[in-house]
Structure 1
Amino acid sequence: MITEESIEYFVTQAHRYGEAGLMLCSSGNLSWRVGEKALVSGTGSWLPVLTGERVAVCDVVSGLSENGVRPSMESVFHLGVMRERADVNVVLHFQSEYATVVACMKEKPESFNVTLEVPYHVGEIAVIPYYCPGSPELAQAVIDGMREHDAVLMSNHGQVVCGKDFDDVLQRALFFEMACRIIVQSRGRYEVLGKKDVENLKRLRLNSR
């Protein structure tokens, strides 16, 4: 059962992500698995000022809204990631400032591991080509990218991160943005961690789960 308390909590988290500066206006969307259902921000809604009336209650398997609210057009990849990964309960699409700059770069970084937080908290970032928002091609590319990754950079579009809960996702999104800020502000004069150091951090990450 989806309760009013669940919807209020979802709205509070959406506002939290907005306050963190992760999106402008309607540029982001959010989903949260609750049992066999998922709460999804409504199409065209603004996460920073989301209200309960703009939250769709969807069946995770069918993707259909059960409360008459039309979910975000990106709900296909939100629910698709949840179907593919039982460990994922929250999916966030956002467009933070520096990560979106990197998404628009002609030559994307080969590695985002500029600080230890990236391999430890974010993991390897999948980079996918540009596809039209809301398209089946975009949805499938994100789903495919997130089978083995917790973060995806969508070229000329934005970012997607997933995780077990809202804190996990917020941390992942903020460290993703921090890495991109370092990459952009350094004007390419940055150094990434060595392969051995990255592997050690990945092992620490896996052991901490």
Structure 2
Amino acid sequence: MSDARLREEICRYGRSLFERGLTPGSSGNISLRLEDGGWLVTPTNASLGFLDPARISRLDAEGRLLSGDKPTKEIPLHTALYDTRGSARAIVHLHSTHAVALTMLPEIDPRAALPPMTPYYLMRAGETALVPYYRPGDPAVADAIRGLAGKYSSVLLANHGPVVAGDSLEAAVFATEELEETAKLYLLLRNLNPRFLSPAQVADLVNTFGLDLPSHHDHDHGGD
């Protein structure tokens, strides 16, 4: 796909996310990793609903700005996920309401922020890690993500929002949307003793669709 088409794709998906209220104001950012190791990434203080393809930041493989506006200050978290998640070709970071709310609950397990509620949550987002709070743009968030060793494609930043990687921009967007809807389901059903997928049902999904879930690494994949 040409550089122009990739820029248009970022704008199209960004507008869709914005118009459905998944990331308000100038929050959130999107990046795409290019074949030469460089990136296209949304600029700082840019609304995902009103992106200009020509102003999207173009970075080289070392993260230096080649053209476009100044990039988002969240470059460290994108870098960390690309560095540890070799299959990642796109990353979406939002401030979606239900996913942020989930991070504030005391019972959340950092190794599995959501239980296995639906098959499509596991199939698109996998399991989700929760990392502690860091101020936006703090390079320390990169260390926290690197500490996950690439086991998770979806990560929640406490009091901040989701960061989701995919092997394409479409996959990253769909996974982010699935994560938000699953967080909404969790909040709706909290304290109502809902029925989650059983271990056998999860194992069936892993075996049928080849899912790479952290909780199954030791049993099915021999670890990373």
TM-score, reference length from structure 1: 0.89
User: Is residue 2:82 matched to residue 1:82?
Assistant: yes
8 Å CA contact 1:123–1:151 kept in 2: the answer is yes
Consecutive unaligned residues in structure 2, runs of 5 or more: 213-224
Question: Residue in 1 aligned with 2:153?
Answer: 150
**Shift of the alpha carbon at 1:53?**
4.2
Identity of aligned residues (%): 26
Question: Residue in 1 aligned with 2:21?
Answer: 21
Distance in structure 2 (CA, Å) of the matches to 1:144 and 1:200: 29
8 Å CA contact 2:79–2:142 kept in 1: the answer is no
Greater Cα shift, 84-93 or 8-17:
8-17
Question: Residue in 1 aligned with 2:116?
Answer: 113
1:46-195 alignment to 2 at 5 Å? Answer: 46-60=47-61, 62-67=62-67, 69-108=69-108, 111-145=114-148, 147-189=150-192, 190-195=194-199
Per-residue CA distance 1:109-145 (angstroms, 9 max, x = gap): 5543111212222111111111111111112223433
Q: CA RMSD in A?
A: 2.2
Equivalent AA in structure 2 for residue 201 of structure 1: L
Distance in structure 2 (CA, Å) of the matches to 1:54 and 1:144: 33
Over 3 Å counting, the alpha-carbon distance change for 1:122 and 1:54 in structure 2 is same
8 Å CA contact 1:112–1:118 kept in 2: the answer is no
Distance in structure 2 (CA, Å) of the matches to 1:5 and 1:171: 19
Over 3 Å counting, the alpha-carbon distance change for 1:6 and 1:187 in structure 2 is closer
Distance in structure 2 (CA, Å) of the matches to 1:121 and 1:6: 22
8 Å CA contact 1:151–1:159 kept in 2: the answer is yes
Distance in structure 1 (CA, Å) of the matches to 2:185 and 2:57: 36
Consecutive unaligned residues in structure 1, runs of 5 or more: none
**Shift of the alpha carbon at 1:203?**
2.4
Equivalent AA in structure 1 for residue 157 of structure 2: M
**Shift of the alpha carbon at 1:152?**
0.6
8 Å CA contact 1:41–1:72 kept in 2: the answer is yes
What's the secondary structure of 1:49's corresponding residue?
Answer: coil
Equivalent AA in structure 2 for residue 41 of structure 1: T
8 Å CA contact 2:77–2:142 kept in 1: the answer is yes
The total of aligned residue pairs comes to 207
Distance in structure 1 (CA, Å) of the matches to 2:191 and 2:55: 41
What's the secondary structure of 1:145's corresponding residue?
Answer: coil
What's the secondary structure of 1:70's corresponding residue?
Answer: coil
Equivalent AA in structure 2 for residue 50 of structure 1: L
Distance in structure 2 (CA, Å) of the matches to 1:34 and 1:52: 16
TM-score, reference length from structure 2: 0.83
8 Å CA contact 2:85–2:151 kept in 1: the answer is no
